[in-house]
Structure formats: C-alpha cells, structure tokens
C-alpha cells in the first residue's frame, strides 16, 4: 500500500503545534477500521514533519530503528498478516470491522537481524522498481493501443484502409439508398397487409311473394 498525498482532508481549525497527532517521516499508519478488504492496510508516511495529522480511523506506529518501518509496512500488508487482522477483528457482523492496538501487539512478527532486514528491504525495493516500471510501460502501451484503434476506425470510416474504386458510390449515398429502400419495403408491406384484410360479408334478404 502506498500513501496517497493527494487523498487528504483539510481542517479549518488550529492544531496545537505540540499535538501528538502530527506525522513524522517514517511513521507507519495502519487502517484500524474499514471494510474487510482494507482492514489493516498499512502505509509509510514520507512527507514533511508537522504538516499532516492522522485520522482516528488509523493507528500510528513509530520506530527508532532505521529500516524497520519499511519491513513492518511490508509485513503488515502480507496476506497472512492481513488474514490475522481479519480473524481477530471486532464488529464484523452488521458494522465496520475494527482492530485495536492490543491486536497489533499480538500480531506475529518474524524479526530477523538488522542486516537481514536491510537486505530484505533492498531486494523488495529492487523488485518494486521493476514492477512500477512494468506498470508504467503497460499504461503507455494501453494508451497507444487505444490511439491506434481510434486511428484505424477513422481510416475505416473514411475508406482509407483499402484501395478505393472510383466507380463506387460514397458511403453517404449508400446509407441514403439503404434508408430509401427500407422505407419502400415498409410501404409495400403495409399495402400487402391491407390487401389481405378480409372483407365483411354482406347479408342479403329476398322478399317472398305470398
């Protein structure tokens, strides 16, 4: 999970400069209440100090050991850890599920040496860079494919895909002719239907002489 700096809400009130809710670079934010799919989703704050505060639907973790925040961020987003959050959440039936600080404290956390943590972060950063580049390339390819599709459709409708026979009638004329023929067929169909309508039988009476 990546923290989106643009997804923010502005407050119109003064916040105490000494408030404990101010974020510092490296703070880990854990979603404590949300839909079940997003419960426990975790991100690291990379912004400036004392510029943003975190909302009450999140919990903040702060570490004194460098690189530990990235390790915890990735571990908490791991499928097995998220499953642990879901199984231990409260309020699932009929309300928004929640996890607490107590649940975080009981979360299983494999803790290797600092050297191993640094190596894990380097490896994952490298893989993430490749994935981000691949995603960016895919987005460019999708935009190019859409542009090419529009170009092909434009050429198809303007008759530029194949050599044109000068004796062929323009598409506009063809459409007009099709429309006219359709109207003629509808008129003929109505005429045939009318001619096949049974006529009312007339009853005649003959006066008999007595």
User: Splitting the chain (210 residues) into consecutive groups of 10 residues, what average pLDDT does each group show?
Assistant: 69 84 93 91 91 90 87 93 93 79 93 90 88 87 87 73 66 78 83 66 50
Sorted by where each begins, the domain ranges of the chain are 1-109, 112-162
Q: Residue 24 has what pLDDT?
A: 93
- What's the predicted TM-score (pTM) here? 0.62
Q: What is the pLDDT of residue 170?
A: 66
* Strands lying side by side in the sheet with 58-61: 42-44, 28-31, 58-61
Distance CA 80, CA 125 (A): 21
β-bridge partners, 53: 22
Say what the pLDDT of residue 202 is: 53
Q: What is the pLDDT of residue 209?
A: 47
pLDDT of residue 15: 84
Contact 46, 66 (CB under 8 A): no
Q: What is the pLDDT of residue 17?
A: 87
What would the DSSP string read from start to end of 136-174? HHHHHHHHHHHHHHHHHHHHHHTT-SSPPPTTSPPHHHH
What is the pLDDT, as a whole number, of residue 125?
87
Q: What is the pLDDT of residue 26?
A: 92
Q: CA 209 to CA 196: how far, in whole Å?
A: 40
Q: Do 44 and 69 meet the contact criterion of CB atoms below 8 Å apart?
A: yes
């Amino acid at each position: 999970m990546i923290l989106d700096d643009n997804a923010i809400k502005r407050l119109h009130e003064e916040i105490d400069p000494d408030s404990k809710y101010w974020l510092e670079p490296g703070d880990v934010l854990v979603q404590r209440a949300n839909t079940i799919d997003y419960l426990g989703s975790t991100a690291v704050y990379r912004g400036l100090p004392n510029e943003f505060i975190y909302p009450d639907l999140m919990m903040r973790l702060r570490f004194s050991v460098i690189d530990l925040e990235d390790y915890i961020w990735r571990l908490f987003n791991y499928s097995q850890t998220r499953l642990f959050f879901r199984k231990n959440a409260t309020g699932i039936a009929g309300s928004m599920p929640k996890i607490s600080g107590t649940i975080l404290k009981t979360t299983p956390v494999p803790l290797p040496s600092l050297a191993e943590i640094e190596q894990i972060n380097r490896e994952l950063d490298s893989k993430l860079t490749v994935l981000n580049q691949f995603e960016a390339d895919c987005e460019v390819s999708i935009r190019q494919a859409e542009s090419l599709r529009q170009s092909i459709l434009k050429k198809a409708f303007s008759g530029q895909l194949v050599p044109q026979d000068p004796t062929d009638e323009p598409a506009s004329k063809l459409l007009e002719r099709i429309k006219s023929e359709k109207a003629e067929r509808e008129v003929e169909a109505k005429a045939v239907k009318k001619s096949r309508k049974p006529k009312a039988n007339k009853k005649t009476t003959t006066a008999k002489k007595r």
